[in-house]
Every structure is written in structure tokens, then in C-alpha cells.
A and B are shown apart, each in its own frame.
Chain A
């Protein structure tokens, strides 16, 4: 982390303003707003898009360069967590399973 205390305060204040603004939007200023249908539909894809965009570079290129090799424990760990979640829908189980694979991989190699 390389933000100063002041930048960190500003970061949090901005996140508060943005998030609270969204939550206040209709409940407090509702009579002047309309929620467009296309925007409502697009929201369905936001979590998958944002989270995948965060995961993929970390799993495939943890040090910055693409690392499709045995020494990259992030990849098998991430795949394990994803596969477990896909088939069981148990988030916590999938996280722990992913961690076990990641830990074993690092320990073995």
C-alpha cells in the first residue's frame, strides 16, 4: 500500500459519497428520477465482469508476466475454488478447498 493517510481518508470519503449517493437516490430524491431498463439489465453482468477482471490477472500473471507454469500456485488454487463453487455452490467450502490446493501446491513444488 503506498497511499498517504490523507489520500486514504480521501479515498474512503469518496467511496462513502458515491455509495451513499446511490442508496439515497430513489429513497430520498425518487420523485425526480427514473431507472432506465437497459441499465437495470446491465447490472446483472457487473459482479461477474468486475470480479473476473480482478481474478484473471492475479491467477495467470501474479508477478506481472503471464506464468503458465508449475511454480504458479495461484492458478491451480483459483481453478479449484471455482470448480468447487460451480458444483457445490458452497462459497466457504470452495474458498477453503482452493486454499488447500494452493497451499499443497506451494509446499510440494
Chain B
């Protein structure tokens, strides 16, 4: 086996735990989208072209609820902005790569591939084998996500009336399960409380604008709490 293939396979292999973790979300996404009345082609296109799980979930909720497109795009921007941080962190390892590598690798950048690849490039340096490793992780995540989305779409199609069975609840349960463990941190708890309150009060605003207001209020509250907490610690230490 050539060094390239070895590196490619190593990248895929090291991503296996992430593939397992993403699988149920792929299925839930596909099923939910179908249950929300989104056509199968659009569900598959979201996974194939956007390829960003959390924003795809949010999009299902928003598209199902009748959203104005600028609000959908703005929400996508806010939810996916963390990828800019990954993009910046990986840049030193990608500077030497030609554009034909950087454009596709950027498209496939996810939380999972970032976690796996950043670790490897930091430990082993960024030669061409590193690039093939990165590609292997990217392709594994991408194919995995498409596969489980298709499984979800098929499940949604084969069980008609899933929405009446309460599948719309699955989204609420999924989000609650993702958020709850983060609430141990005080500033995050405050961010969530503020966002939830504003979202509830502003729920009748058109085009789901309340969501943007709530997100802004939550993020601002979290940063304020963080600053206040830092001030208290500094005073105690002084």
C-alpha cells in the first residue's frame, strides 16, 4: 500500500468513533425532515450540500414552521460560525497545500473531522501524509452522514403520519439532550435562560424573528455573566 492510501485509511479509521456518534443524528434528521413535510430530494440535498448537522436540524424546525429565507440564512450563519474558528486553527497546517486541496477540505470541515485532524497534525506535523489523513477523515464523515440521512428518509417515508405519532417531539427531545449537560457552566445557564425567555415572549413575531432576538440575548447574557464572574475571581484573588 502506498503511503497516501495508508494515511487516508488511518484518517478514516481514527474517525470511526465520530461516525458512530453521528449515525443516530443522521437518522433522526432524515426522519424529522420527512415528517415535517420537507421533500426527500431537499432533505438529501441539505445533507449533501450544507453538510452541517446542527444547522440542518435548525433548518428543519424553521422551514417546517414557515420562515423568511433571510432569517434562515442568518440563523445558519450564527449556528455555523464556529467553523470559522476551525478554519483559522487549521490554516497553519494547510498553508503549504495547493488550492485544489484547500477548497474541498474546507467544504468537509466539521466538528468531528476538526477534532480528529487537528490532534494528528499537531502531534505529527503537516506533511502530505497529513493531508491524506485529513481527506480520509473528511470522506468518512461525509459518506457516513449521507448514508444515515438516506436511512432516516426511508424510515420517514415507510412510516406515514410520523408527525401525528409525535415525531415533532423528537426534535425537542434531541435539542434538550444536547443542551442540558452544558448548563453546568453558570454563564451558559444564564445564556439559555435568557434565550428561552425571550423566545417564549417573542414567539408570535413573524418569520421566526424571535429566534434571532433570543439567540442574541442569550449570547450577550452569557458573555456578560462570564465577564462578571471573571471580575469576582479577580477581586477575590486581589
> When A and B form their complex, what is the total count of cross-chain residue pairs whose Cβ atoms lie within 8 Å?
272
Q: A50 → chain B, closest Cβ, in Å?
A: 5
Report, as a range, how many residues of chain A touch the other chain: 35 or more
Q: B229 → chain A, closest Cβ, in Å?
A: 12
Asked whether, in the complex, the Cβ of A50 is within 8 Å of the Cβ of B177, the reply is: no
B161-199 near A? 1/0 per residue, CB < 8 Å = 000001011111111111111111001100111111111
Q: B179 → chain A, closest Cβ, in Å?
A: 5
Task: Verify if B140 is at the interface (C-beta below 8 Å from A).
Answer: no
- Chain B residues with CB under 8 Å of A10's CB are 69
A67-109 near B? 1/0 per residue, CB < 8 Å = 0000001100110011111100101101100110011001000
Task: Verify if B96 is at the interface (C-beta below 8 Å from A).
Answer: no
B44-69 residues at the A interface, CB under 8 angstroms: 45-46, 49-52, 54-55, 58-59, 61, 63-64, 66, 69
Q: A77 → chain B, closest Cβ, in Å?
A: 6
Report, as a range, how many residues of chain B touch the other chain: 35 or more
Q: List 14 other contacts, CB 8 Å, given A55-B175, A98-B172.
A: A1-B36, A8-B38, A18-B76, A22-B83, A22-B84, A33-B88, A41-B223, A44-B187, A45-B191, A47-B54, A50-B79, A74-B172, A78-B172, A85-B178
Listed from nearest, the 7 A-B pairs whose CB atoms lie closest are: A49-B218, A45-B222, A53-B214, A1-B37, A56-B196, A98-B173, A94-B177
- Chain B residues with CB under 8 Å of chain A are 24, 28, 36-39, 42, 45-46, 49-52, 54-55, 58-59, 61, 63-64, 66, 69, 72-73, 75-88, 90-91, 94-95, 99, 102-103, 105-107, 109, 166, 168-184, 187-188, 191-200, 203-204, 210-211, 214-215, 217-219, 221-223, 226
